[in-house]
Amino acid sequence: MPTELRRAGRRFVAKCPFHADKNPSFVIFKDGFYCFGCGARGDGIDLVGRLLGLRPVDAAREICRAFGLAADEPATPAARRRARQALKKMQRERELEAALQRLKNRVYCKLCLIYQASSRVVAAGPDAPGREAAAMLEVYVEHLLDVLQFSAAEQQLAVLKEWCKCLS
Ligand SMILES: [Zn+2]
């Protein structure tokens, strides 16, 4: 694959995957691609076919599969609508995942601070004021951190629901 796609106006440019390209001379535009270095050209099916070493018909199937479409379905308006919906759903899921990850990071960081604070009290010695409560808190928060790192998504979500209110 081209190492890195860079937007250039309405096109994308990259280093060409088909020749030893020092400067990005490979351009992807709306209907296909063209390399100003080696002259490789074609449409999206040609590109996927050449990159994956597939016949055009298999490349087309691969593209359909990636977008959750039935390969032999004609591109009717309904099929196009389904493709758009599938793409939207994919984007929405990605956004949700990213939002969840950000929330998780925030809760995790704050729990770490609580853990460190309680550890300091515990480490201050047996007579430190509030040591007993701090020791309990330390164990509890350690458990929560474990859940956020290692447990199933459902359990992680339960911790997040409980804690993002307290910590926001
Ligand atoms: Zn090229």
Phi, psi for 84 (deg, rounded to 5): -60, -40
pLDDT in tens, 41-65: 999 899 999 999 999 889 988 888 8
Which pLDDT value is given to residue 168?
62
Helix locations, the chain, DSSP H: 44-52, 56-66, 77-123, 131-150, 153-167
Same domain (yes/no): 96, 49: no
Among 26, 49, 66, the domain-final residue is: 66
Residue 121: per-residue pLDDT: 94
- Provide the 10 A C-beta neighbour count for residue 119: 16
What are the pLDDT digits (tens) for 64-85?
888 877 766 667 888 788 888 8
CA of 54 to the centre of ligand 1 (A): 19
Query: Residue 78 falls within a domain, yes or no?
Result: no
CA triple 81-84-88, angle to 5 deg: 135
* Residue 53: predicted pLDDT: 94
Q: Are residues 99 and 138 in the same domain?
A: yes
CA of 1 to the centre of ligand 1 (A): 12
> Do residue 61 and residue 105 come from a single domain?
no
Amino acid present at 134: A
Calpha distance 48→39 (Å, rounded) = 17
How many structural domains is the chain composed of?
2
CATH number of the domain where residue 61 is located? 3.90.580.10
Which range of residues forms the domain containing residue 52? 6-66
Q: What is the pTM of this model?
A: 0.49
**Which of 66, 81, 104 lies at the terminal end of a domain, its last residue?**
66
The pLDDT assigned to 152 comes to 86
Residue 52 lies in a domain: yes
Spacing, Cα 5 to ligand 1 middle (Å)? 14
Which 8-state DSSP code applies to residue 38? T
76 in a structural domain: no
For residue 66, how far is its CA from the centre of ligand 1 (angstroms)? 25
Indicate if 134 and 97 belong to the same structural domain: yes
Are 135 and 96 found together in one domain? yes
113 in the same domain as 58: no
Q: Note whether 99 and 163 are same-domain residues.
A: yes
Are 135 and 101 part of one and the same domain? yes
Q: State whether 59 and 96 are in the same domain.
A: no
CA–CA dist 80, 92 (Å, integer): 18
Q: Is residue 44 part of a domain?
A: yes
Same-domain pairing of 100 and 160 = yes
pLDDT band at 115 (very low <50, low <70, confident <90, very high): very high
In a domain, 81, yes or no: no
> Whole-angstrom Cα distance, residue 48 to residue 52?
6
- Kindly state whether residues 38 and 101 are assigned to the same domain: no
Burial class (CB in 10 A: 0-12, 13-18, 19+), 14: buried
Distance from the CA of 48 to the center of ligand 1, in angstroms? 15
Q: What residues have CB less than 8 Å from 67, skipping those under 6 apart?
A: 83, 86, 87
Q: Which residues contact 1 (CB under 8 A, 6 or more apart)?
A: 17, 51
CA of residue 60 to ligand 1 center, whole Å: 22
Residue 1 domain-assigned?
no
Q: Amino acid letter at 97? A: E
Residues 24 and 59 in one domain: yes
